[in-house]
Amino acid sequence: MNQVPVPSLDELWSILPEEASADAATPEVLSIGGVPVTELAERYGTPLYVYDETGLRRQIRRFTEGLRERWPNSEVLFASKSFPAVGMYRLAQEEGLSIDVAGGGELQMALAAGVDPARIHMHGNAKTDAELAMALDAGIDTIIVDNADELDRLERLLPARSGDRAATPQQLLLRVIPGVAAKTHASQATGGDESKFGLPLGQAAAAIERMRAHPLMDFAGVHLHIGSQILDVEQFAEAVSKLSGVTSDISGGTPFRTYDVGGGLGVKYTYADDAPAVDAYLDAVVAAAREHLPADARLLIEPGRSIVARAGVTLYRVTSVKRTGRTFVAVDGGLADQMDAALTGQRFEAVLANRLDAPWSESVQLVGRQCESGDLLVDGAPMPPAEVGDLVVLATTGAYGYTLANNYNGALKPAIVFVGDGASRLIARRETYADLLATHEPAIVSRA
Ligand SMILES: Cc1ncc(COP(=O)(O)O)c(C=O)c1O
């Protein structure tokens, strides 16, 4: 009797990119954006991050058009930490998104992509002088202040700006802790009372007074972000409701110009997950905004994961199959390019992408090549009996996969390709061993 929980075709397509398909001529091979994965593996090698560009753009429009229809005085910021690639910053701007960066590196990538500084917002709970100076020099739209020490830094840095901007006040938001404990993995909850991000509501008043009093600070309003991979939209509504208290209790009832309610919408990773649609999320946020925020306020949201997760998959090649009582299918990547399974316990689904039509008769341990038993990409993945050389697609890895990629065991960070309309283009090349050695002696000694 077959004990393996085989997904239905509908379930299969629900976790793959929107433009995934099996061509009638080659029903055994998965295509993404009209390009067979066999072709992608051949041309770019594996592991490979593959993004369905058409689906990605469609998902962005669900956010931009959906928010504009419901609350015209609004802005959707792409939380770029979820997929910090120069090609993605460019695509995001093309689609009308503004950009949220956390730190100098993401700011540099956004600027390199040609993003207009007037559409960049900078986050971070430990910004350095150098990063703040970089943001001020670039003339970014908004800095989201996390703490009183950051205000000390800004007080020193603002008057030191050169040129035309020296006398222009910098727009600032204050990050507050709303006291909403998001129902998600502990490492992804950021809005509870214990959070290291932002100031508790009780300490916000002093910071707001300071910003309001300073001639070079333009205090616009407040920011919150309760966490990531949140599947209950009522939690976002609850967070927004906490902001009505902020204006009345903290600033003597004076409404703020801007309310940024962060990101965090969760996505469907597994066949069993039930994730809210973008519309359901926007309905909940905007209903709460209508009830609790001033009608003429500017409303900002910062989705990351929910924009990029489903559009992206990671393509691996099987390097060994071991049957020791359990079946271990090992691939040529692992937690060096896919940290989330180990970091947050996130469950993913995998597909044997070059033999889609073979009977799914085994439940396997899909493992990576890093030296950790925790390098387990999927614990119990249903699939046909795999063989060396087969291609595995790990689904829904478009968010935080490339972000968290590292060089564990000397692994080289994979390349990224965008696919659509039957064509593919390289967005980031694979690292080389020369890249790996470039920051070490003797390379640095000989250049010094
Ligand atoms: C301040 C801020 N905004 C937005 C996001 C994006 O969250 P998500 O990718 O879950 O939408 C994050 C992620 O941690 C964040 O820290």
Ligand 1 centroid–CA 41 distance in Å is 31
Domain ranges of the chain: 9-45+311-437, 54-306
52 near 30, Cβ under 8 Å?
Answer: no
Active site residues: 371
340 lines ligand 1 (CB under 6 A): no
Question: Considering the domain 54-306 in this protein, what is its CATH number?
Answer: 3.20.20.10
Pick the closest to residue 262 from 176, 368, 169, 336 (CA basis): 176
Say how far apart CA 198 and CA 163 lie, in whole Å: 31
198 lines ligand 1 (CB under 6 A): no
3-state secondary structure of 224: coil
82 lines ligand 1 (CB under 6 A): yes
Among 81, 146, 184, 259, which residue has the most ligand 1 atoms within 8 Å of its CB, making it the best to mutate? 81
- In DSSP notation, 259-310 reads EE----B----STT-----HHHHHHHHHHHHHHHS-TT-EEEE--SHHHHTT
Among 67, 82, 173, 224, which residue has the most ligand 1 atoms within 8 Å of its CB, making it the best to mutate? 82
- Tokens 């990605």: give the residue: 56
3-state secondary structure of 339: coil
pLDDT at res. 247: 67
Pick the closest to residue 182 from 165, 198, 194, 167 (CA basis): 194
pLDDT tens-digit map of 316-375: 999 999 999 999 999 999 999 999 999 999 999 999 999 998 999 999 999 999 999 899
Spans in the chain with pLDDT lower than 50: 1-2
84 lines ligand 1 (CB under 6 A): no
Report the nearest atom of ligand 1 relative to the CA of 266: 10
Burial of 272 (0-12, 13-18, 19+ CB in 10 A): exposed
Pick the closest to residue 256 from 243, 247, 264 (CA basis): 247
Angle (deg, nearest 10), helices 234-245 and 278-292: 20
382 lines ligand 1 (CB under 6 A): no
Ligand 1 centroid–CA 444 distance in Å is 36
Ligand 1 centroid–CA 8 distance in Å is 32
Q: How far is CA 60 from the centre of its chain?
A: 13
Say how far apart CA 39 and CA 54 lie, in whole Å: 19
- Tokens 């991050």: give the residue: 49
256 near 296, Cβ under 8 Å?
Answer: no
pLDDT at res. 1: 41
Q: Whose CA is nearest to atom 5 of ligand 1?
A: 263
What percent of the residues of the chain are helix, what percent strand, and what percent coil, each to the nearest 5?
35, 25, 40
Ligand 1 centroid–CA 261 distance in Å is 10
Residue 395 backbone phi and psi in degrees, to 5: -85, 160
184 lines ligand 1 (CB under 6 A): no
- CA distance from start to end of the chain: 67
303 lines ligand 1 (CB under 6 A): yes
Residues in contact with 277: Cβ distance below 8 Å, sequence separation at least 6, in sequence order:
none
Provide the β-strand partners of residue 250. none
Sign of the torsion angle spanned by Cα atoms 326, 331, 336, 342: negative
Ligand 1 centroid–CA 177 distance in Å is 14
Q: Whose CA is nearest to atom 13 of ligand 1?
A: 228
pLDDT at res. 446: 67
Say how far apart CA 48 and CA 62 lie, in whole Å: 27
Ligand 1 centroid–CA 265 distance in Å is 9
pLDDT at res. 16: 98
218 near 261, Cβ under 8 Å?
Answer: no
Pick the closest to residue 365 from 402, 392, 405 (CA basis): 392
Say how far apart CA 318 and CA 388 lie, in whole Å: 5
227 lines ligand 1 (CB under 6 A): no
Q: How far is CA 124 from the centre of its chain?
A: 15
- 312-323 vs 327-331, strand pairing mode: antiparallel
pLDDT at res. 162: 80
Among 127, 223, 225, which residue has the most ligand 1 atoms within 8 Å of its CB, making it the best to mutate? 225
- In DSSP notation, 148-195 reads HHHHHHHHHHGGG--GGGGGSPEEEEEEEE-----SS-GGGB-SSTT-
Report the nearest atom of ligand 1 relative to the CA of 223: 1
3-state secondary structure of 126: coil
413 lines ligand 1 (CB under 6 A): no
pLDDT at res. 28: 93
Q: Does domain 9-45+311-437 have CATH number 2.30.38.10?
A: no
424 lines ligand 1 (CB under 6 A): no
pLDDT at res. 414: 98
3-state secondary structure of 244: helix
188 lines ligand 1 (CB under 6 A): no
Angle (deg, nearest 10), helices 104-112 and 86-94: 60
Ligand 1 centroid–CA 303 distance in Å is 6
Ligand 1 centroid–CA 264 distance in Å is 6
